[in-house]
């Protein structure tokens, strides 16, 4: 019985962290990245803003709001996926909700590895591999996306799509798990809302990517010397 209660609580916490704080952080992250649409100076000003945040406060936010919740959500999500039974290939289980559940798990696994790749090529590269904060400013991000035949752009575009689906379907699942949408009508309505949100969030993320392609970096505006914690907070995209 104790084990069942533990699983219940962990499942609830897993669902909660997917929306708060991870979902909120993702929307904030994409919104700040979309400043690239306004040009290199606007995007780099976002990084400069975080440079002014006291290091101890920024570190606490990085650990408590970003790193720890993402690690818990990702690792426990892999555990849930490993125990899940895939039944979408059986005719009697081919319901929309089953496919949504399947894609939720599939996108979660893919995102686990994509996020590791993202962090290692942005935050880790800037902070530990000696590339400096310039690596995650506008010009650095533009190079990252366009070098190697636009491979970076393709990977990030796919990553935004997967993250958007995972978050927006996660909202539907969260409301059911937490008893917010109880009736079938409310669940159907939220499913429609989640699909609309998926389109909007994906468009926001892709617009941010486009922002890194449409401007020529202004050499006079770079570099903005951000502190190491600021570089972590603004490991763009």
Those residues whose C-beta lies under 8 Å from the C-beta of residue 163, and which sit 6 or more positions away, are 26, 107, 111, 205
Read off the pLDDT of each residue in 141-163 and give the average, rounded to a whole number.
95
Domain of residue 33 covers 2-233
Report the share of the chain in percent with pLDDT over 70.
84
Span 189-235, pLDDT tens digits: 999 999 999 999 999 999 999 999 999 886 544 544 444 333 333 33
CATH code: domain of residue 55: 1.20.1300.10
Question: Which pLDDT tens digit goes with each residue over 134-149?
Answer: 888 999 999 999 998 9
Q: For a pLDDT cut of 90, what percent of the chain falls above it?
A: 59
Number of domains in the chain: 1
pLDDT digits (tens, 9 = 90+) for 65-94: 899 999 999 999 999 888 876 665 555 555
**18: closest CA among 193, 140, 223, 165?**
165
User: DSSP for the chain?
Assistant: -HHHHHHHHHHHHHHHHHHTTHHHHHHHHHHHHGGGGG-HHHHHHHHHHHHTS-HHHHHHHIIIIIIHHHHHHHHHHHHHHHH----TTSGGG--HHHHHHHHHHHHHHHHHHHHHHHHHHTHHHHHTSS--GGGGSHHHHHHHHHHHHHHHHHHHHHHHHHHHHHHHHHHHHHHHHTTS--SHHHHHHHHHHHHHHHHHHHHHHHHHHHHTTSS---GGG------HHHHHHT---
| Greatest extent of the chain over all pairs of C-alpha atoms, in Å | 64
| Predicted local distance difference test score (pLDDT) of residue 102 | 86
**Is pLDDT of 1 > 50?**
no
Work out the number of other CB atoms within 10 angstroms of the CB of residue 163. 24
- How confident is the model over 33-49, as pLDDT tens digits? 999 999 999 999 998 88
Q: What is the pLDDT of residues 11-23, one digit of tens each?
A: 899 999 999 999 9
Q: What does residue 215 show for φ and ψ, rounded to 5 degrees? A: -120, 150
What is the pLDDT, as a whole number, of residue 25? 94
Total Cβ atoms within 10 A of residue 178? 12
Band the pLDDT of 59: cuts 50, 70, 90. Answer: confident
Distances, alpha carbon 92 to alpha carbons 10, 81, 163, 173, in Å = 30, 21, 29, 22
Q: Which residue has the higher pLDDT, 68 or 1?
A: 68
Average pLDDT over residues 51-72: 88
């Amino acid at each position: 019985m104790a084990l069942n209660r533990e699983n219940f609580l962990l499942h609830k916490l897993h669902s909660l962290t997917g929306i708060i704080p991870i979902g909120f952080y993702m929307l904030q992250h994409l919104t700040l990245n979309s400043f690239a649409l306004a040009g290199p100076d606007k995007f780099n000003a976002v990084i400069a803003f975080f440079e002014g945040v006291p290091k101890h406060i920024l570190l606490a936010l990085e650990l408590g709001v970003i790193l720890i919740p993402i690690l818990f959500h990702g690792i426990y999500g892999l555990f849930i996926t490993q125990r899940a039974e895939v039944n979408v290939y059986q005719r009697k289980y081919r319901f929309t909700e089953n496919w949504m559940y399947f894609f939720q798990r599939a996108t979660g696994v893919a995102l686990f590895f994509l996020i590791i790749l993202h962090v290692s090529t942005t935050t880790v590269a800037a902070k530990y591999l000696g590339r400096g904060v310039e690596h995650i400013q506008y010009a650095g991000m533009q190079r990252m996306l366009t070098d190697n035949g636009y491979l970076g752009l393709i990977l990030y575009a796919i990553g935004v799509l997967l993250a958007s689906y995972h978050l927006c379907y996660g909202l539907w699942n969260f409301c059911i798990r937490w008893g917010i949408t109880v009736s079938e009508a409310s669940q159907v309505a939220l499913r429609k809302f989640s699909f609309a949100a998926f389109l909007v969030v994906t468009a926001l993320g892709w617009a941010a990517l486009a922002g890194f392609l449409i401007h020529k970096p202004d050499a006079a505006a770079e570099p903005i010397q951000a502190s190491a914690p600021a570089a972590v907070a603004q490991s763009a995209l």
